[in-house]
Amino acid sequence: MRLGAFELNEPLPELKNTHALAMLRPWIDIGSVGSLVMSWLETQYAAKDLGKLARPGEFFDFTRYRPTTYVQDGQRQMAIPNTTLTYSKSIQQVQGKQENGNDFLFIHLLEPHNHSEDYVESVLQLLQRFNITRYCLLGSMYDYMPHTRPLLVTGTMGGQRTQQEANRLNVRRSGYQGPTTITSLISQMAAPLGIEIMSLIVHLPQYTQLDEDYMGAVRLMETFGGLYGAKPDQSYITKAEKQREQIDATLNENAQLKAIVEQLENHYDVRAERRREEESPKLSPEIEKFLAEMDKRFRDEPGTNRRD
């Protein structure tokens, strides 16, 4: 079945209370964090193939996204880069009973080179066809972060509920301004359709430059788990610990890099303290005035022996 530029497998699944989770290559998949987390999610929720772009060459330049050849059963095959779709119908355990959770639509986006408006429009048609209630982009970016501190997760949120969830998970609102991807139009155009918008972007240390950053992947898994209850994959945790040990060993052999990391730690700690101060409860001017007057009266009361 054709839906916009997508060819979908039939029969189409009946999805309910569905959240769309998307990752985007190569724009915001540093360290392959989005790819790693999406792979984990699709395994976690036993995802099934739903479809892909019918003619990916209308959108992608294959001199930039190279097709690859491989041999299978003695026959040479070709894998063509594409935007692919999978889905899952989720069942969760609640107090020993099975209850329906969120169904998921997983979207593996590739940055389009041509006909970008048609590409965005086709994704929006997909969201509407399956009555998506939330669209969430998962990814990663480089930042001035030390690997020795909890990695920062920022994002955008549209709607009161998503903002409350982000606050609970300590996800900071992104203040980024500058060049972006044309696929950001998906979020911008989905919001007026009544779809909740969210993004979860983990910030990675610039000095690590890992092809597969499991430390970032685990951090994003933890954040996602706070939303939906899924637990991080133990194999990912083991690989993240090994990467951290290797980085620590490199620092011990490189005094200059170690000094840079110490500066990043100081910067991180100062920012964290500043955020705590900004988020501390603020009293109204009337209450502050009342407390000041009470304090003055207490100081002036005969027989008191208060010392500051």
User: Is 304 within a domain?
Assistant: no
Tens of pLDDT along 66-120?
Answer: 999 999 999 999 999 999 999 999 765 333 444 458 999 999 999 999 999 999 9
Domain of 30: which CATH number?
3.40.50.10900
- Asked, for residue 98, whether it belongs to a domain, the answer is yes
Domain that includes residue 164, residue range:
2-253
Count of domains for the chain: 1
Mean pLDDT of 36-45: 94
- The maximal CA–CA distance of the chain, rounded, in angstroms, is 99
> Is residue 40 assigned to a domain?
yes
Does the structure show a pLDDT above 90 at 57? yes
Task: Catalogue the E-assigned strands of the chain.
Answer: 2-3, 6-8, 18-25, 48-53, 68-72, 75-79, 84-88, 91-94, 97-100, 103-110, 134-143, 153-155, 157-158, 172-173, 196-205
242 compared with 281, residue with greater pLDDT: 242
Confidence band (pLDDT; 50, 70, 90) for 295?
A: low
**Secondary structure of 27-78 in the HEC alphabet?**
CCEHHHHHHHHHHHHHHHCCCEEEEEECCHHHCCCCCCCCCEEEEECCEEEE
| Residue 17 falls inside a structural domain | yes
User: Distance (Å, rounded) from C-alpha 106 to C-alpha 49?
Assistant: 10
Phi/psi-derived region of residue 151, left when phi > 0, alpha when psi is between -120 and 50, beta in every other case:
beta
Does any domain span residue 267? no
pLDDT for the residue numbered 169:
86
CA-to-CA dists, residue 125 to 16, 64, 118, 120, angstroms:
17, 27, 10, 9
Evaluate whether residue 269 is within a structural domain.
Answer: no
Q: What is the pLDDT of residue 2?
A: 96
For residue 260, being part of any structural domain is answered with no
